[in-house]
Amino acid sequence: MSEAAQKQMNPTASRPVRCIVKLGGAAITNKGELESIDEESLRSSCAQLRQAMSHSGAAEKVLGMDWSRRIGDPAEPVVDAESFSEMGGLGLDTNFVVVHGAGSFGHFQASRSGVHKGGLHSTLVKAGFVATRISVTSLNQEIVRALAKEGIPSVGMSPFACGWSTKQRNLVSANASQIIQSLHAGFVPVLHGDAVLDESLDCTILSGDVIIRHLAQLLSPKYVVFLTDVHGVYDRPPTDPNAVLLKEIEVDDNGSWSIVKPALQKGVEISVAAHDTTGGMETKILEAAAIARLGVDVYITKVGTEHSLRALKGDTSWEGWLGTVIRSSK
Cα–Cα distance between 28 and 304 in angstroms, integer? 10
Question: In angstroms, what is the minimal distance from the CB of 164 to a second copy?
Answer: 9
Cβ closest to a second copy, residue 130 vs residue 264: 130
Query: What string marks each residue from 200 to 219 as x (binds a second copy by CB under 8 A) or -?
Result: --xx----------------
Chain positions 3 to 42 lying near a second copy, rule: CB under 8 A, are 34-35
Q: CB 63 → a second copy: shortest distance, Å?
A: 7
| Alpha helix ranges (H) inside the chain | 3-7, 25-28, 39-53, 81-86, 107-113, 123-149, 177-184, 208-219, 281-293, 306-313
Cα 18-21-25 angle, rounded to 5 deg: 175
CB of 195 to a second copy, least distance (A): 9
CA–CA separation, 215 vs 218, rounded Å?
5
**Min. distance of Cβ 180 from a second copy in angstroms?**
10
Which residue lies nearer to a second copy by CB, 65 or 281?
65
Q: Give which of 224, 238, 231, 254 is closest to 326, Cα–Cα.
A: 224
Strand partners, 14: none
Cα end-to-end distance, the chain, whole Å: 18
Summary count for the chain: helices (H), strands (E): 10, 13
Q: What part of residues 59-78 is at the interface with a second copy (CB under 8 A)?
A: 63, 65-72, 76-77
CB 34 within 8 A of CB 108: yes
Residue 105 or 299: the one with the smaller Cβ distance to a second copy is 105
Crossing angle (nearest 10°) for helices 39-53 and 123-149: 50
Q: Rounded distance, CA 271 to CA 190, Å?
A: 27
Q: Which is nearer to a second copy, 35 or 250 (CB)?
A: 35
Task: Sketch the per residue contact string, 156 through 195, with a second copy: x for CB under 8 A, - otherwise.
Answer: xxx-xxxx-x---------x-xx--xx--xxx--------
If the CB atoms of residues 201 and 225 are measured against a second copy, the closer one turns out to be 201
Least Å distance, CB 176 to a second copy, is 10
Choosing from 29, 95, 109, 217, the residue that interacts with a second copy (CB under 8 A) is 109
Where does this chain bind a second copy (CB under 8 A)?
A: 34-35, 63, 65-72, 76-77, 79, 81, 84-85, 87-90, 108-109, 112-113, 120-124, 126-131, 133-135, 137-138, 141, 144-145, 148, 151, 153-158, 160-163, 165, 175, 177-178, 181-182, 185-187, 197, 202-203
